[in-house]
Amino acid sequence: MSLLALTGITKNFGEGNVLKGISLEVQEDELVAILGSSGAGKSTLLRLIAGFEKPDQGEIVFDGNVVAGESFLPAEKRKIGIVPQDGALFPHLNVYDNIGFGIAKDPNKDSRIQQLLKLIELEGLEKRKPQELSGGQLQRVALARALAPKPKLVLLDEPFGALDAELRDRLRNDVRRIIHAEGVSAILVTHDQEEALSLADRVAVLREGRIIQVGTPTEIYNSPADIGIATFLGESVLIDGKVTDGKVTTDLGKLTALNQVVEGQSGVVAIRSENFYLQPNPAGDSEVVGRVFFGHDAVVEVQTPSLKIKARSNGPFAPEVGMKVTVWVRGAVNFYPTK
């Protein structure tokens, strides 16, 4: 049985539905990312799971009990940890008291706090006030505070949003390590696809109040359910195509579709920018018209006879502007028939 099960959750704040029938399951010891752009309803969903809001319809079952639906269990009774966006440490308490806040009556409080301090690698900083911590330290303390009472589930609300890129990378690894060390399930809400893909065991894509697709990061990335997800998850080039002889005929040649196709159907294929291969060819019919160099890779803009594409190329070997090339598409593509 799953640890958390949401069925048919809707929520309306009077300005149109924020959530329109959400169903989702989270297993024990699983990290699920809910990925969506701002306004998709991510935070509302998290607050419903935590117990700060009541769903209008639908049911939430947590750890074998109905917590919303027929009966309602408020946040303080659910034992679900939360890590808010900016950490939200209690500003009047030091690190030690922040972490110990939820286990005030626990006889093993001190050893538990020490254990967590070690886990988050902040030993020796227990006397510090939140104002004296860096952004990454704040988030780690917030995580330790949520984990202290040993909840079965923690909710992470865009926990890395306010940090700079390098810190975000490090903290991501830390969080993954800490959560696995504690053997707790987690739901991470984020608008950052890289974060969701790199951190989660499974990703649920939320758009306009609906979950559009759930799957492992690889599934989601390689087989996005629709064009929207395809472009949201990474740079994709969209090209018109038509199914003939079981293949998709496009301006870039005949491509193999990953999904089931129907003969004669027309639609669009989405090609990830890293799936283009640019072969230098003085007699090629395409020309490099732009190049943005990032070091490890480069984004190369290519004008083909019929369209302009952006291809990601191995940095050191990226063709220069003005070079003639032939464009190849590597591997199979996703085909989305026109409705």
Partner 1 sequence: MQKPPVLTVVLGVFAALLAIVPLGYLVLRLAEGIEAASAELARPRTFELLSNTVLLVVSVSLTALVVGVVQAWFVVRTNLRYPGFYAVVATVPLAIPSYVLALGYVSIFPWFSGFWASWLVLTMATAPYVFLAVSAALLRVDIAAEEVGRSLGLSRLQVFLKITWPQVRTSATAAVLLVSLYVLSEFGAIALLRFDTFTRAIYNAYRSSFDRTAAASLALVLVALTLVIVLLERRYRGDYLMQRPANPRRLKQDLGKLQTPVTLLLALFGLLGAGLPMAALLNWTMIGSSSTDLAKLVSATLSSFGIALLAAILVSIFALAVSIWVVLHKNKLGSFIEGLLWSNHALPAIVVGLALVFFGANVTPWIYQSIWLLMIAYLILFLPNGLAAMSTPLAQVPKGLTEVSQSLGQSYRKSLTKVILPIASPGLIAAAALVMLTVLKELPATLLLRPTGAETLATRLWSATEELAYAQAAPFALVLVIIAGLPALALNASVRKTYAEVNEE
Rounded CA separation 178/140 (Å): 9
70 lines the binding site for partner 1 (CB under 8 A) = no
Rounded CA separation 300/167 (Å): 29
Lay out the site mask for partner 1 across 257-296 (x = CB under 8 A, - = otherwise). ----------------------------------------
Instruction: Report CA 281 to chain centroid distance, whole Å.
Output: 39
Shortest distance in whole angstroms from residue 13 CB to partner 1: 7
With contacts defined by CB under 8 A, how many residues of the chain interact with partner 1? Answer: 28
12 lines the binding site for partner 1 (CB under 8 A) = no
76 lines the binding site for partner 1 (CB under 8 A) = yes
HSE-CB for 206 with a 13 A CA cutoff: 30
Sheet strands (E) in 282-323: 286-293, 297-303, 308-314
Shortest distance in whole angstroms from residue 296 CB to partner 1: 37
Beta strands 253-255; 236-244: pairing state? unpaired
85 lines the binding site for partner 1 (CB under 8 A) = yes
User: How many CB atoms are closer than 10 A to CB 191?
Assistant: 18
165-182 vs 109-119: helix axis angle to the nearest 10? 140
Task: List Cα–Cα distances, 275 to 240, 252, 294, 310, in angstroms.
Answer: 17, 12, 18, 10
Lay out the site mask for partner 1 across 122-161 (x = CB under 8 A, - = otherwise). --------------------x--xx-xx------------
Shortest distance in whole angstroms from residue 77 CB to partner 1: 7
Shortest distance in whole angstroms from residue 53 CB to partner 1: 9
DSSP letters for 67-107 = EESSS---HHHH-EEEE-TT----TTS-HHHHHHGGGTT-T
Of 76 and 320, the one with the shorter C-beta distance to partner 1 is: 76
According to CB under 8 A, which one of 13, 72, 293, 317 is a site residue for partner 1?
A: 13
72 lines the binding site for partner 1 (CB under 8 A) = no
Shortest distance in whole angstroms from residue 157 CB to partner 1: 8
Of 52 and 317, the one with the shorter C-beta distance to partner 1 is: 52
89 lines the binding site for partner 1 (CB under 8 A) = yes
CB contact set of 313 (below 8 Å; sequence gap of 6+):
276, 278, 297, 298, 299, 300, 319
168 lines the binding site for partner 1 (CB under 8 A) = no
CB contact set of 38 (below 8 Å; sequence gap of 6+):
191
204 lines the binding site for partner 1 (CB under 8 A) = no
φ/ψ of residue 131, rounded to 5 = -65, -20
91 lines the binding site for partner 1 (CB under 8 A) = yes
In this structure, the dihedral spanned by the alpha carbons of residues 54, 215, 311 and 167, taken in order and rounded to 10 degrees, is: 60
68 lines the binding site for partner 1 (CB under 8 A) = no
* Residue 39 zone, left/alpha/beta (φ > 0; ψ -120 to 50; rest): left
Site residues (CB under 8 A) for partner 1, limited to 295-314: none
165-182 vs 135-147: helix axis angle to the nearest 10? 20
According to CB under 8 A, which one of 37, 65, 74, 254 is a site residue for partner 1?
A: 74
According to CB under 8 A, which one of 36, 55, 58, 102 is a site residue for partner 1?
A: 102
Report the amino acid identity of residue 107: P
According to CB under 8 A, which one of 37, 65, 90, 315 is a site residue for partner 1?
A: 90
According to CB under 8 A, which one of 36, 55, 58, 84 is a site residue for partner 1?
A: 84
According to CB under 8 A, which one of 78, 112, 168, 312 is a site residue for partner 1?
A: 78
Shortest distance in whole angstroms from residue 37 CB to partner 1: 18
Binding site for partner 1 (CB under 8 A): 13, 50-52, 74-82, 84-86, 88-92, 101-102, 142, 145-146, 148-149
